């Protein structure tokens, strides 16, 4: 809320008028204007005295019986109101949003990235010759995937061409504007200028840009074209002793990392195979153990007995015949064949793990992944453990990694290589975004 009474949405750290992507248009309404939200979904602006409604953002009047409303500024930069019927678990519906254009929020795809609409959903892409700075976090933007030659260098071994990104608009930060007849003329002007890293061409105007490019989005109805300078060759260093050594060290580190990752992947694969084999054999044995007619035989391993069965066989663990390091040994007699056996009585421990979905719990805790995210977001991870004591930092790392790995959008999930680096602590684990399952549901 601005001091002039205008409610405006800007990108983070940039409150220039030109960067606003939503405004109520109530500037000039005076100071101390307030945003108000009623139980029936009525959203409106009140003047300083609270006596006059300056503007209704929603008309309200929505059903209130067994229904609640939530007003929230979402992670995608859009201001929304949701409704939730208390008898329909987990279902939220959007009743109002500040914009229906998912690409309207500026800065959604970070520096050197641009927003693309796909079925009314926002997606992000990097400029040609760029890649994501931080996997899974588009707000971090994109960076070049090659080294740019300095203007001071007289080497001249790096060759460039201009790659086109059509129908895109960007925030204007040009340092030079030319009038040229054709797109190719604009591209050549940038190639001839060492400081030029991209140009925006529209209506015979060629705007030279230096990186980063901001607030990009695809606009199919706009004829604007972005042309980005991209390397087509690898430079030959003029000082081999220094640069070659650095490149060799970098290459060596990459090779070592690849080899280590291969060994880890192979180990994980063998572990999975071993687990499958063990599970199949264990399942076979479980089937045998469930048959009460099978006791001991030469063809099968001993079956499992319940505690009550062993108590009956040993007559209540009455006759002790010895004692080992893990408990006492009692004499027992099998009911079939009257075989005399020895039974060791050990301490009984039961470990209980909860299901991923348990509707016997409260609505907040029913879905494990949502409960884990809410506990993480609130800094209350101890609620997930009960009385168990673990390393809190390690628990937080594992929870963050787990939340990344269960994202509904495959492109957001970290690669196996990235997961291994995160587990080793080589790569920091970023804060995971809100669960896609929740966003898609509402």
Residues annotated within the binding site are 345
Binding-site residue ranges for ATP: 345
Which CB contacts under 8 angstroms, 24+ apart, belong to 185-189? 186/227, 187/162, 187/227
| Nearby residues of 104 by Cβ (< 8 Å), 6 or more positions away | 21, 22, 77, 78
* Bridge partner residues of 9 (DSSP): 22
């Amino acid at each position: 809320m601005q001091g002039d009474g205008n409610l405006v949405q800007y990108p983070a750290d940039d409150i220039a008028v030109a960067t606003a992507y939503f405004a109520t248009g109530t500037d000039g309404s005076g100071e101390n204007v307030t945003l108000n939200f009623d139980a029936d979904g009525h959203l409106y602006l009140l003047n300083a005295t609270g006596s006059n409604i300056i503007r209704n953002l929603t008309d309200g009047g929505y059903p209130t019986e067994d229904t609640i409303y939530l007003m929230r500024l979402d992670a995608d930069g859009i201001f929304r109101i949701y409704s939730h019927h208390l008898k329909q678990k987990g279902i939220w519906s959007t009743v109002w949003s500040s914009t229906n254009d998912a690409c309207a929020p500026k800065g959604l795809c970070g520096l050197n990235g641009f927003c693309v609409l796909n079925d009314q959903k926002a997606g992000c892409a990097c400029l040609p010759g760029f890649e994501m700075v931080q996997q899974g976090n588009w707000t971090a933007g994109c960076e070049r995937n090659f080294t740019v030659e300095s203007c001071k260098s007289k080497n001249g071994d790096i060759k460039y061409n201009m790659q086109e990104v059509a129908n895109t608009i960007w925030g204007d930060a040009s340092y030079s504007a030319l009038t040229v007849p054709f797109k190719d003329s604009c591209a050549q002007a940038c190639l001839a200028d060492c400081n030029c890293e991209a140009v925006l061409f529209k209506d015979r105007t060629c705007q030279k840009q230096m990186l980063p490019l901001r607030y990009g989005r695809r606009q199919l109805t706009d004829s604007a074209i972005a042309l980005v300078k991209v390397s087509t060759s690898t430079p030959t260093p003029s000082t081999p002793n220094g640069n070659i050594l650095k490149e060799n060290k970098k290459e060596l580190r990459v090779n070592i990392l690849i080899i280590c990752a291969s060994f880890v992947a192979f180990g994980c694969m063998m572990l999975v195979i071993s687990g499958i084999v063990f599970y199949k054999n264990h399942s076979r044995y479980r089937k045998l153990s469930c048959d009460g007619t099978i006791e001991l035989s030469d063809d099968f391993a001993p079956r499992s007995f319940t505690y009550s069965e062993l108590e009956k066989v040993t007559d209540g663990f009455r006759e002790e015949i010895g004692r080992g390091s893990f408990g006492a040994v009692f004499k027992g007699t099998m009911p079939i064949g009257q075989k005399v056996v020895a039974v060791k009585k050990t301490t009984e421990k039961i470990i209980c793990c909860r299901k991923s979905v348990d509707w016997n719990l409260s609505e907040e805790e029913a879905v494990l992944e949502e409960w884990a995210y809410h506990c993480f977001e609130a800094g209350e991870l101890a609620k997930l453990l009960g009385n168990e004591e673990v390393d809190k930092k390690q628990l937080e790392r594992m929870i963050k990694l787990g939340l990344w790995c269960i994202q509904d959008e495959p492109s957001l999930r970290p690669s196996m290589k990235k997961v291994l680096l995160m587990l080793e602590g080589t790569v920091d684990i970023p804060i995971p975004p809100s669960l896609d399952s929740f966003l898609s549901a509402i």
